[in-house]
Amino acid sequence: MANETPTTGLELRSLVKSEGVLELSLAEVPVAAPGPDEVVVRIEASPINPSDLGLLVGAADMSTAVQSGTADRPVVTASIPPQFMRAMAARTGESMAVGNEAGGVVIAAGSSPAAQALIGKTVGIIGGAMYAQYRVVRAVECLVLKDGATAEQGASCFVNPLTSLAMTEVMRSEGHTALVHTAAASNLGQMLNKICIKDGIQLVNIVRSAEQAKILREIGAVHVVDSSSPTFMEDLVGALVETGATIAFDAIGGGKLAGQILTAMEIAANKTAKVYSRYGSTTYKQVYIYGGLDTRPTELNRGFGMAWGLGGWLLTPFLQKIGAAEANRLRQRVVDELTTTFASHYTARVSLAGALTLEALTAYNAKATGTKYLITPQV
Amino acid sequence: MANETPTTGLELRSLVKSEGVLELSLAEVPVAAPGPDEVVVRIEASPINPSDLGLLVGAADMSTAVQSGTADRPVVTASIPPQFMRAMAARTGESMAVGNEAGGVVIAAGSSPAAQALIGKTVGIIGGAMYAQYRVVRAVECLVLKDGATAEQGASCFVNPLTSLAMTEVMRSEGHTALVHTAAASNLGQMLNKICIKDGIQLVNIVRSAEQAKILREIGAVHVVDSSSPTFMEDLVGALVETGATIAFDAIGGGKLAGQILTAMEIAANKTAKVYSRYGSTTYKQVYIYGGLDTRPTELNRGFGMAWGLGGWLLTPFLQKIGAAEANRLRQRVVDELTTTFASHYTARVSLAGALTLEALTAYNAKATGTKYLITPQV
């Protein structure tokens, strides 16, 4: 089938220019011939995750975005506030390919038996530069879907499924027995609910509106607390007492929420304390920040004793830490439950050019819970 | 010698009353007869550490303090702002004895050979209720000083020595090779410098004034940066590049300092980074908050990637975690180097009654670097 492989394909690019301008465009790039252990994947579907937007739009002020170019080859430019250019220094002047993960079909393969065995298979892949029509990847990195599964079903089989599975793994490995999650009505949050319901893990969902609470209750979530409610802290303490959760994964990052979670965990722990300790409870409380939906500073009043930790958390270092065998166990579970536990839902599908319209950019860059875009590069 | 043991002694007490008043006073309490494995220590000297003040003055507003009682039995009262009474709930109405550690002489012992062997020995002890004339403790918990060492020399042989030693132990056990310390001109900070110089550990000292920088340079500190300087961030990054320090112990707690340290570590790490990573460097950066000299909220702008941790840190859980053998190794080093590495310096000595004068209270409650009070309960 190698003779069917196109020699070039479109790829979405993000460029920060030294004069303080972000430029998004489509480039026609050569499709490399696969090495012996590599395959060429025709990408059918690639999601726009919050974790993609950092590279795609960087620190640009998208309210200044202007579209030019043609309908087939749109170009979007936006200005980057000068104070953020230092943070962009390492990528300035370098045209970056974007897109963490995708689903597609293997259309060509290198000479190795492992690579050849994948020809015609529908696979999920991860590794960047997925907002493109073709991608050359190592055969061993392909997650081969079950017969009948579509590329769209496999498009989001890494980031959200492995992140939500990893949260339960971290919970167990660090000695906790129940979990707190924020921005909990997100695609990832709904997936985490399905995992926890299936695995019998108690999960406290923190959402930001009554509508989001309703979404989660409808899929069977038991503990849902709404941070916009005047009784938020009482509700949260109540849920923590009931579940005993002492670890949280927080996608919000900024503002007071992480500290409020630690405070509520401390109050819950002290409800069962027998003696006064001037240093607070000895119950260890952990919050991992894995996103930054709120870009303001994180504010901690430290009214939660001394037995606490706050930290950044990312999937990739976690997978490296647990090793290949454990990581493969998690990946296999995703394949096995791809259309149930790990089913993703999209609100819109756009072509590569369609992803660079101001309308689409504004919609997916809002990172609103319930809005999820899928790029379909072959359309 | 048991017949020389007094039947009562003075003990300093701190009481939070439900009406929102703190009351400090001296109580005459019975000296219990020692159990078989216990000894009675005549306390000669006990330091007032920042870690004692949380229990001593709690959340009271000491600008409202009023003294009453007599010269021998002073009573100090101060009001507690209503918003802090919830945090005081667990201790309200209970008269609390105060004082973490002390040095003294064993004047009576229980029947066991281990206890009897301590009679007449000068010891360091820890465990609370040390602002008292006599304290009954378990024999195994006494740190027996070398012949010739005074009780005053042994008064501070736990909190600061073990805390500063523990910092270097944590540094090593968590895979770091150099250390950052804040409020670095404190007694503890000077001790940490002596340890690091002796052990060949690179230490970055963060101080808040030029005078404090001078104190540290005079005892041989190499890396001293002044957070009041306009070039603070550059200076800190420079010291981090030179030392490679990726772990900090922070006594300040509030404000931006902890976040600034993480940011400076990230900048230092990225100076050697080869490729752009949207998630920041992969160098893991850790700050432990072990004090709260600044009681404002901790503010983190999170401009330091995702490979970071912030947490509370206390000596006691650390000692429990490393186990008795390791803890004894650290304690023995303190005994061996009591008058060199671990020498403490005091700016004032006060009796139990003297500690309850408004003048003394104001001075030691300011927690000013360079000011250190010692209570001498036999005077």
Does residue B26 surpass a pLDDT of 90?
yes
Nearest residue of B to residue A310, measured between CA atoms: B310
Going from the C-alpha of A245 to that of each of A303, B144, B222, B315, the distances in angstroms are 18, 44, 45, 25
* Distance in Å, alpha carbon of A1 to nearest chain B alpha carbon: 35
Which value, in Å, is the radius of gyration of the alpha carbons in chain A?
22
Ordered DSSP codes for B178-247: EEEEESTTSHHHHHHHHHHHHHT-EEEEEESSHHHHHHHHHTT-SEEEETTSTTHHHHHHHHHHHH---E
Does residue A360 surpass a pLDDT of 60?
yes
pLDDT at site A375: 98
Among A109, A75, A26, smallest CA distance to A377 is for A26
Does residue B277 surpass a pLDDT of 80?
no
Answer whether B307 sits within 8 Å of A317, measured CB to CB: yes
CA–CA dist A347, A339 (Å, integer): 17
Answer whether B306 sits within 8 Å of A314, measured CB to CB: yes
Q: Is the dihedral of CA B2, B7, B11, B13 positive or negative?
A: positive
Of the listed ranges A91-105, B81-95, B184-198, B217-231, the one predicted with least confidence:
B81-95
Average pLDDT over residues A112-119: 97
Of chain B, the percentage scoring pLDDT greater than 70 comes to: 97
Answer whether B259 sits within 8 Å of A301, measured CB to CB: no
Per the model's pLDDT, the better-predicted residue between B271 and A19 turns out to be: A19
Strands (E), A322-368: 348-350
Which residues from chain A sit within 8 angstroms of residue B254, using beta carbons?
302
Which value, in Å, is the radius of gyration of the alpha carbons in chain B?
22
Answer whether A309 sits within 8 Å of B309, measured CB to CB: yes
**Chain B residues with CB-CB distance to A under 8 A?**
54-55, 87, 90-91, 94, 96, 253-254, 259, 270, 273, 276-279, 282, 289-290, 292, 297-303, 305-314, 317
Which residues from chain B sit within 8 angstroms of residue A277, using beta carbons?
90
Of chain B, the percentage scoring pLDDT greater than 90 comes to: 87
Q: Is the dihedral of CA B354, B359, B362, B366 positive or negative?
A: negative
Q: Which of B54, B276, B299 sits opposite A90 (nearest CB)?
A: B276
Token pair of A17 as six digits = 């220019």
Q: Which of A292, A305, A313 sits opposite B312 (nearest CB)?
A: A305
Task: Select from A300, A301, A318 the residue whose CB has the most chain B CBs within 10 Å, as the one to mutate to test that interface.
Answer: A300
Which residues from chain B sit within 8 angstroms of residue A54, using beta carbons?
278-279
Q: Any idea which fold A159-316 has?
A: Rossmann fold (3.40.50)
Average pLDDT over residues B9-21: 97
Does residue B35 surpass a pLDDT of 90?
yes
Going from the C-alpha of B33 to that of each of B4, B135, B370, the distances in angstroms are 12, 10, 39
Band (pLDDT 50/70/90 cuts) for residue A367 is confident
List strands edge to edge, sheet with B247-250: A223-226, A202-207, A178-182, A247-250, A285-289, A308-312, B308-312, B285-289, B247-250, B178-182, B202-207, B223-226
CA–CA dist B154, B146 (Å, integer): 10
CA–CA dist B322, B334 (Å, integer): 17
Does residue A238 surpass a pLDDT of 90?
yes
* Distance in Å, alpha carbon of B278 to nearest chain A alpha carbon: 6
Token pair of A154 as six digits = 């496999």
Does residue B344 surpass a pLDDT of 70?
yes
pLDDT at site B280: 86
Displacement of CA A252 from its chain's centroid (Å): 13
Task: Select from A96, A233, A283, A306 the residue whose CB has the most chain B CBs within 10 Å, as the one to mutate to test that interface.
Answer: A306
Does residue A2 surpass a pLDDT of 50?
no
Which residues from chain B sit within 8 angstroms of residue A312, using beta carbons?
302, 305-309
Band (pLDDT 50/70/90 cuts) for residue A1 is very low
pLDDT at site A345: 86
Which residues from chain B sit within 8 angstroms of residue A299, using beta carbons?
297-300
Answer whether B300 sits within 8 Å of A305, measured CB to CB: no
- What contacts 24+ positions apart, CB below 8 Å, involve A144-150? A144/A118, A144/A335, A145/A103, A145/A121, A145/A335, A145/A338, A146/A335, A146/A336, A146/A338, A149/A122, A149/A338, A149/A339, A150/A44, A150/A103, A150/A122
pLDDT at site B267: 93
Answer whether B309 sits within 8 Å of A308, measured CB to CB: no
CA–CA dist A212, A219 (Å, integer): 11
The continuous run of DSSP H or E covering B288 comes out as: strand B285-289
Average pLDDT over residues B58-71: 94
The continuous run of DSSP H or E covering A265 comes out as: helix A257-270
Nearest residue of B to residue A276, measured between CA atoms: B90
Does residue A34 surpass a pLDDT of 60?
yes
Of chain A, the percentage scoring pLDDT greater than 70 comes to: 97
Token pair of B84 as six digits = 């802090």
Alpha helix stretches (DSSP H) within chain B: 50-56, 113-116, 151-154, 159-173, 187-199, 210-218, 232-243, 257-270, 315-322, 324-336, 358-365
Domain regions of chain B by residue span: 8-157+345-375, 159-316
* Distance in Å, alpha carbon of A18 to nearest chain B alpha carbon: 15
* Distance in Å, alpha carbon of B135 to nearest chain A alpha carbon: 20
Distance linking the first and last C-alpha atoms of chain A: 22
Does residue A207 surpass a pLDDT of 80?
yes
3-class state of residue A343 by DSSP: coil
Of the listed ranges A115-119, A264-268, B165-169, B292-296, the one predicted with least confidence:
B292-296
Answer whether B87 sits within 8 Å of A312, measured CB to CB: no
pLDDT at site B275: 67
**Chain A residues with CB-CB distance to B under 8 A?**
54-55, 87, 90-91, 94, 96, 253-254, 259, 270, 273, 275-279, 282, 289-290, 292, 297-303, 305-314, 317
CA–CA dist A94, A332 (Å, integer): 36
* Distance in Å, alpha carbon of A3 to nearest chain B alpha carbon: 35
Q: Which CATH architecture has domain B8-157+345-375?
A: Alpha-Beta Complex (3.90)
Residues whose CB is less than 8 angstroms from the CB of residue B232 and which lie 6 or more positions away in sequence, other chains included = B225, B226, B260
* Distance in Å, alpha carbon of A94 to nearest chain B alpha carbon: 10
Band (pLDDT 50/70/90 cuts) for residue B272 is confident
Band (pLDDT 50/70/90 cuts) for residue B36 is very high
Q: What's chain A's average pLDDT?
A: 94
Band (pLDDT 50/70/90 cuts) for residue A366 is confident
* Distance in Å, alpha carbon of B79 to nearest chain A alpha carbon: 19
Among B317, B270, B96, smallest CA distance to A278 is for B96
Does residue B149 surpass a pLDDT of 60?
yes
* Distance in Å, alpha carbon of A278 to nearest chain B alpha carbon: 6
Q: What's chain B's average pLDDT?
A: 94
Length of chain B: 379
Looking only at the bridges linking them, the beta strands covering A134-138 and A143-144 are unpaired
Token pair of A297 as six digits = 């500073």
pLDDT at site B1: 42
Looking only at the bridges linking them, the beta strands covering A348-350 and A373-375 are parallel
A313 neighbors A274 (Cβ within 8 angstroms): no
Band (pLDDT 50/70/90 cuts) for residue B4 is low
pLDDT at site B367: 75
ipTM of the complex: 0.87
Across-strand partners of A8? A30
Distance linking the first and last C-alpha atoms of chain B: 22
Nearest residue of B to residue A296, measured between CA atoms: B301
Band (pLDDT 50/70/90 cuts) for residue B259 is very high
Average pLDDT over residues B40-46: 98
Does residue A368 surpass a pLDDT of 80?
no
Q: Which of A254, A289, A299 sits opposite B297 (nearest CB)?
A: A299
